[in-house]
Amino acid sequence: MTGWVKVAGLGPGDAAMVTDQVRAALDAATDVVGYIPYVARVTERPGLTLHPSDNRVELDRANHALDMAAAGRRVVVVSSGDPGVFAMAAALFEALEDRPAPEAFDIEILPGITAMLAAAARLGAPLGHDFCAINLSDNLKPWALIEKRLRLAAQGGFAMAFYNPRAASRPGRFEEVLKILRQELADDVLISFARAVTTPEERLLTVRLDEATADMADMRTMVIVGNADTRQVGRWIYSPRRAE
């Protein structure tokens, strides 16, 4: 097989956060596959075909990429942030599992700066101690599992980073998330809302847990919940490196 698939992360939005490795892959590609707004971030040029597709068709997209690679094309599948974080890399391997000769494919995963790390950097160092990342979307897992993980992470003293906090299809869900957190954590725990980080629409907000409201988050927001020691210094939020 002469074709290949590279699954690339475009970072949180700022062009300066696209790695040289990802740029080189896009320069070498014949085809780019991905969700419409991510493909829109790729510069058009002669010899490059863009294949934007709608949300929630990840497996179709992955199979399309594999088929094109098998036909000799050089395909970049784009994700925002990092492709391995709630994104296309895992979808590609799910599609690969159904192929008779998975080892015949030339596949590479090119990391990117995930929204969690870009948001944390803009806030200070809220993930300076142990933390976990939770996808609040219940498209691919039951709500009961999300609730269980929220409670256990809170009880474990982890700082938490939430992806996909809100969707039009799940009105009221983030309200429930806040309720669960308030049952498990102290009122003065800090919660940060980092929206559209590294883009012109960026907005950062940090409040106490008892002041947080669901409308502080939307689908372009990373929510970062501090641990019991997370504190403010000047305009920064940080979690000390030590814990008792």
* Residue numbers at the binding site for ligand SAH (CB under 6 A): 12-13, 79-82, 85-87, 114-115, 119, 163-165, 194-199, 219-222
Tell me how far, at minimum, the Cβ of 174 lies from ligand SAH, in Å: 11
Tell me how far, at minimum, the Cβ of 221 lies from ligand SAH, in Å: 6
Tell me how far, at minimum, the Cβ of 111 lies from ligand SAH, in Å: 9
Residue 176, number of CB atoms within 10 A of its CB: 16
- CA-to-CA distance for 140 and 87, rounded, in angstroms? 12
Instruction: Output 148 or 203, the one with its CB closest to ligand SAH.
Output: 203
Instruction: Output 14 or 67, the one with its CB closest to ligand SAH.
Output: 14
Residue with nearest beta carbon to ligand SAH: 81
Task: Say how far residue 204 (Cα) sits from the centre of its chain.
Answer: 17
Instruction: Output 12 or 128, the one with its CB closest to ligand SAH.
Output: 12
DSSP 44: P
Tell me how far, at minimum, the Cβ of 161 lies from ligand SAH, in Å: 9
Q: What is the chain's Cα-based Rg?
A: 19
Which residue type does 73 have?
A: R
Instruction: Output 96 or 121, the one with its CB closest to ligand SAH.
Output: 121
Beta-carbon contacts of residue 32 (< 8 Å; ≥ 6 apart): 26, 39, 42, 48, 49, 50, 51, 75, 76, 77, 78
Instruction: Output 4 or 86, the one with its CB closest to ligand SAH.
Output: 86
Which residue type does 163 have?
A: Y
Tell me how far, at minimum, the Cβ of 12 lies from ligand SAH, in Å: 4
Which secondary structure element, helix H or strand E, spans residue 41, and what is its range?
Answer: none
CA distances from 184 to 129, 175, 216, 229 (A): 19, 15, 20, 15
